[in-house]
A and B are shown apart, each in its own frame.
Chain A
Amino acid sequence: MMNWTDEARNELERFLVAERAWLAADPDSGDMDHEEVIGDLRAHIHEELAVLGAEEVDLHRLQEVLGRLRPGFGCGDEPRPRRKERASDSKRKTRERRPGPVLWFCGVVLPLVALIAELSMGICASELGGALDPIPTLYHALGIALVPVMNALMLSRMEARQLGGSALMTFAGMALLVGTLYAVLFIPLVPIAAVALFFGIGLLPLAPLFSVLVTAFCIRKSKKMGAPKGALAGFVLAAVIALLVEVPAMCTSIGANLAASEDADKSARGVDLIRSYGSESMLLSMCYGVQPASLLLPMTKLTAMRFLEEDNFGRANSTKARTTYFLVTGIAFNAVQVPPNVEGRLDWARLQGERSEQGGDEVAGRVEGLSLMESRIDTVVETGASLAYTEWELQFSNRSDSSKEARAQVSLPPGGFVSRLTLWVDGEEREAAFDSRVKVKQAYRDVAIVRRRDPVLVSTSGEDLILVQCFPVLPGKEMRIRVGITSPLQLSDTAEGREGILSLPSFVERNFDIATSLQHEVWVQGASDFLVTPEGIQSVAPASGPMIARGSLSDGALSDPASVIRVSLEGAPKTSWVEEDFYDKNGAILQTLSEELAQPVGRLVFVLDGGAGMRQAAQDLAYAFSLLPRDIEVSLAICGEGQAAELDPKRADPAHIQSMISRLEEHDFEGGVLSGALLARAFDAVQIQGDADDKGPGAVIWLHGEQAVNLAGSSAISQRLTRARDGTRLFAVRGIGGVHRLAAELGSLPNFERVPREGELTNDLAGLVRKLTLGGPQPVLVRKHIDQAEVPEDARRVSRNLARVWAGDESVRLQATSVTEDRDEGIELALAHHLVTRATGAVVLESAEQYERHGLEPVKIDSVPSVPEPETWAMLAMVAGLLAFAIARGRSAA
């Protein structure tokens, strides 16, 4: 590194000014690049000094070199530049000496500050309401960073009088493209920024414009100094990259708007566009009100409006986007984690959205920072009554800095009812009040959402579905609740004997995260052997006390419809009873194990939801086809199949069965499907045939996947189910876990039957097909209200849970009638037994004063069901044995 004296430096500049004058005076000056020549001379001087080994460049040493370059320089014979040239040369001399702090500030400091500010605070992204997110992805951040970096490199080169290579110029050209794009995008903000300059806050929006001007200046200057080509290539290359990066966002944005259209064709085009070229992650962001990560979104909007005749580009709001997300992916938007570009951003719109969803009837979107910390499921199986009581204890935690509401839709065991609800307040257990659905919801909204105190609410949200809501889970705190469920066991006759099937409750939909490491701790106890348990649950036979099945299940395993526990009912009594005083002090509920003769059907239409995740289910269905008898008439409808299939059932000859299997194999299982309209067509197909002959009633077997959106086309099938009087029925089988709004909605209608899952889908479908096509006796439990005097001698007395199950069924039956008195009676029956039904709910409030104000009364602790501890269990068994002995002796004596 050479050290220049000030005299030498000034002399060099004087020489270069003189050279410029010489060049200007040269008659051939138009044929040459003056700046290039000056740059060459400068490089030559440096080279010469280096060859001379000069570490210190003083005036004498420099003049020695200059003398060889231009003999006579310094003797006053150089041409005098014209006055105008002298003035401009003087300015140029200043500029050449150092790029200057203004260039460094505008080209490097300002864009860096703007980049850091936007990355850390997301000012534009939040303040512009999603209209412009300047840094939607990491790639955009890197692109922006290129501008100050290249400016800094080129300015420092210019300071050192060095020229960059072609690589540097290429990157500079890329930076120029990035800067130009951002400068154009921010042009609408320039007037506002200019005004805001007076207040000292307007510089940041001007950063793109200022920095790109510096980039352009540096490129021009470098070229004049003789830098090689490359800038144009870099500019073009960056333009191509920008287009590739932006295509997914543009297609997602246009596709989401098309998909939100009322026009079915347009909507399907939108879904296809997103599937082909769009981004699921960006669509997921739209579900939370964050627009696709597109820098060119404003341009995209204009393009779409101009060329696709989209007159309403803003209709793809978060609600519509949630529907589109399901149609594109086949899963609910809240089944996946909040995307990283949504989580952690200062997004007031999203926070407002979260608040508006609190206390609502839908689970809605994932809430930032809310997660399930612990989960335990304790179940006691009463084989004597073929029922079970399950307690699910859940502990939520909130890592965010604001109060959150935890919401979840929970799938109950088939035929089950919530019979207990507990909230821990300051370490104490508080039991719920059961009352009409309207009343408990009003109390919850008032106490939770308005007063922001500590309630938990449980209400039904469909057949065997409940909605659990707790608020507030305070920032940095936890909230613990317990839901008690009384449910009958499903009966199944196997070669080994009669078995009871226990399903566990599981999440269908939730607005909180569950870590993949979290396990649901499961403990099941009962008097009989546990024959089959899901993987992760082990059956244990202790030396004394009840049989136990214990272990842990991941959330995915718990939600799997095939995760059931099979209990031996060998030796279980055929009749059981319990006191019931709702109607009569001497009343009793008698449960009898009986058989029901099923009439075989004449025609079957299989409807398959052909969405994502259903391929395996389709293979299981193909196996079920092989079990069909030849004389039955069948057809297959695949929801999502391109062309409308012929639904009229035909004889199940091998060729017909093979054609149905081929269609299953050829179908592309992708995205989400809406099956309401196809179910109605299938129902019509079996009904019309049923009118024409007398082969027995028709049936539709609907193997469904997930339907996470609201009920498009549900009215047609609802109407048919409600009006059908010819015995035609619709059997719904869950192929995979997840939310299914249509199945939940249809669940309470006549002629609709949810087929409980008993294990593997192949076996369940095969069992259903055999049952429907062959008919024959099926085991059923019949419960009825009688007088205690009518209880048979051999009936076993069981727990109050039997009365709860009976009351739940009876209440639902009464609530479904059109007689007001019956409906009221149904509600009273449910409330007397502390059950959550369609018309009743449960709420836990924080204090006695809150219960009183809302006209509610919490359940007394001695009247709630519970899972007995092992010691209690042993004692109860002993007492029950003694009681039975005493009763038996008393009766024999009588």
Chain B
Amino acid sequence: MPNSDFLNNWTVQARKGLLELGVLNALIAEERYGYDLVKSLVAWSGLDITEGTIYPLLSRLRKQGLLKTRLVESSGGPARKYYSLTDEGREARRFMNQRFDVLVAGVRSMSRGTIEE
């Protein structure tokens, strides 16, 4: 068994790189409000993230123009912020998924001794 620190570090790096794509994919079908989105992302065991780390990411994606938000009044508390993809976000999601598929295929093909572009 390799060094566990090495494996932990690799897992963190891999998840970190995939978190943005996870968020974009989570919003492909419909807009979702922040709490609901975070809960669904946290529930995906593969990512293994904490709730507090997602909001900075959402803010960054919004500032980059991939997400847009709107506020909807809520009777029971603060207004709910709904997130949805911008056109640019949809384009980025499509591109990222393609690259991800290529990467996965490439990494797997390594084990067979060939690289498929």
Residues of A within 8 A of B (CB): 19, 22-23, 26, 28, 31-33, 36-37, 40-44, 46-48, 50, 68-71, 160-166, 226-228
Verify A163–B63 contact, CB threshold 8 A: no
- Asked whether any CB of chain A lies closer than 8 Å to the CB of B35, the reply is yes
Contacts of B72 in A (CB 8 A): 165
In the complex, A560 Cα to B20 Cα: how many Å?
86
User: Which one, A23, A40, A50, contacts B77 given CB within 8 A?
Assistant: A50
A163 to chain B, nearest CB (A): 5
Known: A42-B78, A68-B51, A69-B52. A36 touches B34 (CB 8 A): no
Task: Fill in one digit per residue for B55-87: 1 if any A CB lies within 8 Å of its CB, else 0.
Answer: 110111011100001111100111111000000
User: Which one, A23, A26, A33, A69, contacts B63 given CB within 8 A?
Assistant: A33
User: Which one, A37, A46, A164, contacts B59 given CB within 8 A?
Assistant: A37
Verify A26–B35 contact, CB threshold 8 A: no
Contacts of A48 in B (CB 8 A): 35
Question: In this complex, what residue of A is CB-closest to B35?
Answer: A47
Verify A69–B78 contact, CB threshold 8 A: no
User: Which one, B38, B55, B77, contacts A46 given CB within 8 A?
Assistant: B77
Verify A23–B56 contact, CB threshold 8 A: yes
Pairs A–B under 8 Å by Cβ, sample size 28: A19-B52, A31-B63, A32-B63, A36-B59, A36-B62, A37-B55, A40-B58, A43-B35, A43-B77, A43-B79, A43-B81, A44-B35, A44-B38, A46-B77, A47-B35, A47-B78, A48-B35, A68-B51, A69-B51, A70-B52, A160-B78, A161-B78, A166-B70, A226-B69, A226-B71, A226-B81, A227-B71, A228-B70
Other A-B pairs, 6, CB within 8 Å; known A41-B55, A161-B78: A23-B56, A37-B56, A44-B55, A50-B77, A69-B51, A163-B71
- Asked whether any CB of chain A lies closer than 8 Å to the CB of B11, the reply is no
In the complex, A184 Cα to B52 Cα: how many Å?
45
Known: A68-B50, A70-B52. A165 touches B79 (CB 8 A): yes
User: Which one, B51, B56, B73, B79, contacts A44 given CB within 8 A?
Assistant: B51
Question: In this complex, what residue of A is CB-closest to B51?
Answer: A69
User: Which one, A19, A50, A69, A162, contacts B79 given CB within 8 A?
Assistant: A162
In the complex, A50 Cα to B77 Cα: how many Å?
8
Contacts of B52 in A (CB 8 A): 19, 22, 41, 69-70
A675 to chain B, nearest CB (A): 67
A70 to chain B, nearest CB (A): 4
Question: In this complex, what residue of A is CB-closest to B34?
Answer: A40
B85 to chain A, nearest CB (A): 17
Contacts of B62 in A (CB 8 A): 33, 36
Contacts of A47 in B (CB 8 A): 35, 77-78, 80
Verify A163–B78 contact, CB threshold 8 A: yes
Verify B55–A40 contact, CB threshold 8 A: yes
Contacts of B35 in A (CB 8 A): 43-44, 47-48
Question: In this complex, what residue of B is CB-closest to A70?
Answer: B52
Contacts of A165 in B (CB 8 A): 71-73, 79
Question: In this complex, what residue of B is CB-closest to A31?
Answer: B60
Question: In this complex, what residue of A is CB-closest to B58?
Answer: A40
Contacts of B58 in A (CB 8 A): 40
B76 to chain A, nearest CB (A): 6
B15 to chain A, nearest CB (A): 15
B80 to chain A, nearest CB (A): 7
In the complex, A770 Cα to B52 Cα: how many Å?
103
Question: In this complex, what residue of B is CB-closest to A72?
Answer: B50
Contacts of B50 in A (CB 8 A): 68-71
Contacts of A68 in B (CB 8 A): 50-51
Verify A40–B64 contact, CB threshold 8 A: no
Known: A40-B34, A69-B50, A228-B70. A162 touches B63 (CB 8 A): no
Residues of B within 8 A of A (CB): 34-35, 38, 50-52, 55-56, 58-60, 62-64, 69-73, 76-81
Question: In this complex, what residue of B is CB-closest to A48?
Answer: B35
Verify A28–B60 contact, CB threshold 8 A: yes
Contacts of A33 in B (CB 8 A): 59, 62-63
Verify A228–B59 contact, CB threshold 8 A: no
B23 to chain A, nearest CB (A): 13
In the complex, A90 Cα to B70 Cα: how many Å?
30
B59 to chain A, nearest CB (A): 4
In the complex, A23 Cα to B52 Cα: how many Å?
11
In the complex, A46 Cα to B77 Cα: how many Å?
7
A421 to chain B, nearest CB (A): 75
A66 to chain B, nearest CB (A): 9
Question: In this complex, what residue of A is CB-closest to B72?
Answer: A165
In the complex, A163 Cα to B79 Cα: how many Å?
6
Known: A32-B63, A33-B63, A42-B78. A26 touches B56 (CB 8 A): yes
**Ranked 7 nearest A-B pairs via Cβ:** A32-B59, A69-B52, A47-B35, A70-B52, A40-B55, A32-B60, A43-B78
Verify A228–B71 contact, CB threshold 8 A: yes
Most buried by A among B55, B60, B62, B81: B55
A228 to chain B, nearest CB (A): 5
B12 to chain A, nearest CB (A): 14
In the complex, A28 Cα to B81 Cα: how many Å?
22
A495 to chain B, nearest CB (A): 84
B63 to chain A, nearest CB (A): 6
Contacts of A163 in B (CB 8 A): 71, 78-79, 81
B78 to chain A, nearest CB (A): 5
A53 to chain B, nearest CB (A): 11
Question: In this complex, what residue of A is CB-closest to B76?
Answer: A50
Question: In this complex, what residue of B is CB-closest to A163?
Answer: B79
In the complex, A226 Cα to B55 Cα: how many Å?
12
Verify B56–A46 contact, CB threshold 8 A: no
B42 to chain A, nearest CB (A): 8
Most buried by B among A33, A37, A40: A40
B60 to chain A, nearest CB (A): 4
In the complex, A28 Cα to B72 Cα: how many Å?
29
Most buried by B among A28, A43, A70: A43
Most buried by A among B35, B69, B76, B80: B35
In the complex, A19 Cα to B62 Cα: how many Å?
19
Question: In this complex, what residue of A is CB-closest to B68?
Answer: A228
Verify B79–A40 contact, CB threshold 8 A: no
In the complex, A36 Cα to B63 Cα: how many Å?
11
Most buried by A among B34, B56, B70: B56
Verify B60–A40 contact, CB threshold 8 A: no
Verify B69–A228 contact, CB threshold 8 A: yes
B79 to chain A, nearest CB (A): 5
Contacts of B51 in A (CB 8 A): 44, 68-69
In the complex, A70 Cα to B58 Cα: how many Å?
16
Verify B59–A43 contact, CB threshold 8 A: no
Most buried by A among B62, B72, B79: B79
Question: In this complex, what residue of B is CB-closest to A26?
Answer: B56
Contacts of B80 in A (CB 8 A): 43, 47
In the complex, A23 Cα to B56 Cα: how many Å?
8
User: Which one, A19, A40, A70, A164, contacts B81 given CB within 8 A?
Assistant: A40
A79 to chain B, nearest CB (A): 13
Question: In this complex, what residue of B is CB-closest to A68?
Answer: B51
Verify A44–B34 contact, CB threshold 8 A: yes
In the complex, A773 Cα to B9 Cα: how many Å?
120
Contacts of A44 in B (CB 8 A): 34-35, 38, 51, 55
Contacts of B71 in A (CB 8 A): 163-166, 226-228
Contacts of A43 in B (CB 8 A): 34-35, 77-81
Contacts of B69 in A (CB 8 A): 226, 228
Verify A32–B56 contact, CB threshold 8 A: yes
Verify B76–A40 contact, CB threshold 8 A: no
Contacts of B79 in A (CB 8 A): 43, 162-165
In the complex, A37 Cα to B81 Cα: how many Å?
12
In the complex, A786 Cα to B51 Cα: how many Å?
123
Contacts of A160 in B (CB 8 A): 78
Contacts of B59 in A (CB 8 A): 32-33, 36-37, 40
Most buried by B among A28, A41, A44, A162: A44
In the complex, A40 Cα to B59 Cα: how many Å?
9
Contacts of B73 in A (CB 8 A): 165
In the complex, A50 Cα to B50 Cα: how many Å?
19
